[in-house]
């Protein structure tokens, strides 16, 4: 009956399929990338509905199979059940992150509960779970590969963690919670984007631009012109606009106004306020954990991670915080001395940090960030990342001109092995816009798989929010921007190199940042700087004097950098370590948590509660992973340092044991296979000046 019902649903859907909907046809595009130029907003919902209906048929076929459950007729078949749904979702969610609009935001609110309900329907299907459990319990009777065993184990445990062993009444409660969470998390994210776009610091007095570099002023003027305010200057809470203003503007009141607007996103008591939404998310996740038999939401999340328990996470974070706080206090005191020396009578506040840190850098290291920007044009930095990958792995990147793009700003590249064989397609989309959420990330339109013996190659996208070209100048990056580009490129390499056979990979998120963070180590190596750091006007390679300044200032602001990320990580863990029942006032809770950890008042956590997107959409009880992975990436780079940063044997081992295996085997074993031992924390402490 279940199969007949599913077939009836999908048959009805098939009859109504729009032949003009690109999701219902083969993609006759270069490398079968999504036909972005043909996909319209109205195509998503019917395709999502059909994807769910088609998946139901496959699931009904699995559960209706009278043969004994095996990996092939149950697990492998289930792995392909949501092929259409995944295809549509990959495009939809990438676009809602990087190129959204009012229609897509409305669709998100409709699609999120649909997908959540289908996920519950799948994970709470008793017959399906019974077959999976049978395969798991009889796994020794089949000759399964290491990847297949890993997939089977994580699939079985995922069903258990998501309520498969609950009674019917509790399963209904779980479904309701999941539905609520699906809507709340989308609303939280949409509010942050709206808040980010809403605020504009409009300057109409040229005197208020004092101290700002010419390129920053030009960009602000072009932003104002685009808003119909020619002759004025606009600064926003997008970091490429905000951070240079905080670094260089001599107008302290305006620095405070801009920074306060950034800090208070989602906390203005209006229709975009996220306080109640966050309180509800934390409450429901705590209730959900208790229903599933866990102490806290953090305990659920960490069960499949390298960290295993909240205590292990807190031990690492608190250790590093305690090491970093005295360093940050010294930095604060040095900056306060500058305030006094300049005749200031005020105490340093959070909105002052970037301005006086820049002065401190100049006085201690004779290094001005603006000295570096001319050597970091975006195209050169991008090509530098490509060159590093070529030297390490032999791969090449060739620009593709005639290919559909997810946005006109995007670029596309074919990635090939040294022998010319195709690896995948890489999209890069670098400039901020109102339709794009904040930050930088790496995603994918298609993952690597092997289907019926045929290799499906990946399509990866890297998205950023870097300062765009201004006037006759190209996009010029700060050192932080350069690190960000290399970071996301590291994620991209992992996606391109993936060798998984199945779509159902399980990545321990403690290690997911290793491929990205290790790439940052190549950025400031002198021989790498010589490859890409070239003056945008003269082509001159960055002079040795500046290279020495970069090296000498490597510990600059390290107290601040470490304290703000530890504070955010501990805030995330504090929310999700609460035991049900939970009633929380985010503003009060955040204040109490920061007081408890001893955060100095001159530093705010990297993300405040009401715009802390990581804590909502995937890094919940997981923002710590950047720090956990930092232990791994610093230790792993020592392996390169020991033999040479482009040592081919080390690079091959890292690719084969880490980049290609991500999500297909135990994370600790992956690292052991590469390093030959467990990671050590000493390289991290040394490289951050915390030892």
Active-site residues, by number, are 488
> What three-state secondary structure class fits 425?
strand
Asked if 396 and 384 touch (Cβ cutoff 8 Å), the reply is: no
- For the record, the structure tokens of 39 come out as 């996909």
How far out from the chain centre does Cα 584 lie?
27
199-216 burial, b if ≥16 CB within 10 A, otherwise e?
Answer: bbbebeeeebbeebbebb
- Do residues 213 and 248 lie in contact, with contact meaning Cβ atoms separated by under 8 Å? yes
- Residues 564 and 572 sit within 8 Å (Cβ to Cβ): no
What's the CA gap between 56 and 632, in Å, rounded? 41
> Taking the mean position of all CA atoms in its chain, how far away is CA 502?
22
Task: Looking at 145-212, list the stretches that DSSP marks H as alpha helix, in order from N- to C-terminal side.
Answer: 146-161, 168-198
Element (H, E) at 413: strand 411-416
> What is the sign, positive or negative, of the torsion defined by CA atoms of 24, 30, 34, 38?
negative
DSSP 658: I
Among residues 28, 43, 60, the alpha carbon closest in space to that of 131 is found at 60
Cis peptide before 581 (omega within 30 of 0): yes
C-alpha 569/C-alpha 313 separation (Å) is 9
Q: How far apart are the first and last CA of the chain?
A: 66
Alpha carbon distance 684, 73 (integer Å): 46
Q: 414: which strand partners?
A: 398, 425
Identify the sign of the CA torsion 358, 359, 360, 364: positive
Question: Facing residues of 473 across strands?
Answer: 470
């Amino acid at each position: 009956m279940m199969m007949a019902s599913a077939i009836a649903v999908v048959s009805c859907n098939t009859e109504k399929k729009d032949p003009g909907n690109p999701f219902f046809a083969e993609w006759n595009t270069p490398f079968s990338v999504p036909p972005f130029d043909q996909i319209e907003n109205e195509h998503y919902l019917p395709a999502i509905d059909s994807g769910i209906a088609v998946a139901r048929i496959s699931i009904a076929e699995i559960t209706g199979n009278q043969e004994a459950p095996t990996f092939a007729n149950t697990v492998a078949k289930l792995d392909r059940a949501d092929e259409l749904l995944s295809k549509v979702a990959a495009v939809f969610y990438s676009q809602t992150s990087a190129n959204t609009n009012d229609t897509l935001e409305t669709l998100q609110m409709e699609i999120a509960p649909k997908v959540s309900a289908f996920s519950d329907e799948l994970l709470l299907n008793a017959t399906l779970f019974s077959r999976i459990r049978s395969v798991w319990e009889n796994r020794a009777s089949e000759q399964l590969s290491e990847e297949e065993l890993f997939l089977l184990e994580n699939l079985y445990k995922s069903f258990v963690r998501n309520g498969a062993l609950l009674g019917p009444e509790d399963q209904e409660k779980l479904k309701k919670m999941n539905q609520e969470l699906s809507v709340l998390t989308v609303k939280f994210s949409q509010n942050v984007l709206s808040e980010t776009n809403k605020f504009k610091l409009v300057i109409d007095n040229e005197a208020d631009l004092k101290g700002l570099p010419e390129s920053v002023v030009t960009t602000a003027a072009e932003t104002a012109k685009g808003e119909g305010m020619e002759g004025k200057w606009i600064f926003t809470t997008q970091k490429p606009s905000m951070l240079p203003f905080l670094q260089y503007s001599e107008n302290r009141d305006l620095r405070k106004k801009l920074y306060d607007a950034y800090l208070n996103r989602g906390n203005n008591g209006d229709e975009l306020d996220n306080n109640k939404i966050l309180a509800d998310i934390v409450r429901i996740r705590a209730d959900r954990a208790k229903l599933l038999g866990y102490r806290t939401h953090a305990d659920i999340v960490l069960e499949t991670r390298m960290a295993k328990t909240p205590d292990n996470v807190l031990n690492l974070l608190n250790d590093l915080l305690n090491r970093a706080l005295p360093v940050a206090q010294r930095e604060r005191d040095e900056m306060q001395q500058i305030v006094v020396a300049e005749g200031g009578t005020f105490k340093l506040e959070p909105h002052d940090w970037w301005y006086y840190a820049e002065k401190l850098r100049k006085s201690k290291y004779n290094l001005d960030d603006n000295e570096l920007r001319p050597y970091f044009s975006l195209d050169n930095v991008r090509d530098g990342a490509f060159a590093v990958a070529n030297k390490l792995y032999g791969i090449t990147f060739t620009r593709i001109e005639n290919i559909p793009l997810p946005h006109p700003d995007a670029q596309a590249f074919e990635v090939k092995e040294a022998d010319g064989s195709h690896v995948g397609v890489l999209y890069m989309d670098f400039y901020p816009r109102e339709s794009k959420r904040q930050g930088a990330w790496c995603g994918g339109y298609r993952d690597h798989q092997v289907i019926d013996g045929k290799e499906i190659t990946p399509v990866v996208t890297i998205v950023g929010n870097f300062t765009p070209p201004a006037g006759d100048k190209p996009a010029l990056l700060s050192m932080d921007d350069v690190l960000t580009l290399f970071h996301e490129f590291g994620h991209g390499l992992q996606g391109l190199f993936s060798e998984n056979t199945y779509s159902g990979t399980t990545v321990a998120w403690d290690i997911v940042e290793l491929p990205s963070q290790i790439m940052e180590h190549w950025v400031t190596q002198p021989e790498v700087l010589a490859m890409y750091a070239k003056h945008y006007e003269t082509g001159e390679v960055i002079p040795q004097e500046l290279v020495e300044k970069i090296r000498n200032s490597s510990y600059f602001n390290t107290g601040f950098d470490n304290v703000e990320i530890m504070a955010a990580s501990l805030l995330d863990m504090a929310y999700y370590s609460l035991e049900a029942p939970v009633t929380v006032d985010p503003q009060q809770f955040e204040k109490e948590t920061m007081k408890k950890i001893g955060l100095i008042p001159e530093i705010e956590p990297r993300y405040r509660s009401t715009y802390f997107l990581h804590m909502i959409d995937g890094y919940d009880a997981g923002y710590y992973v950047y720090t956990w992975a930092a232990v791994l990436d610093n230790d792993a780079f020592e392996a390169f340092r020991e033999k040479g940063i482009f040592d081919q044997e080390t690079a091959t081992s890292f690719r084969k044991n880490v980049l290609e295996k991500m999500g297909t085997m135990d994370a600790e074993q992956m690292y052991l296979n590469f390093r030959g031992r467990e990671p050590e924390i000493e390289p991290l402490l040394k490289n951050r000046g915390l030892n």
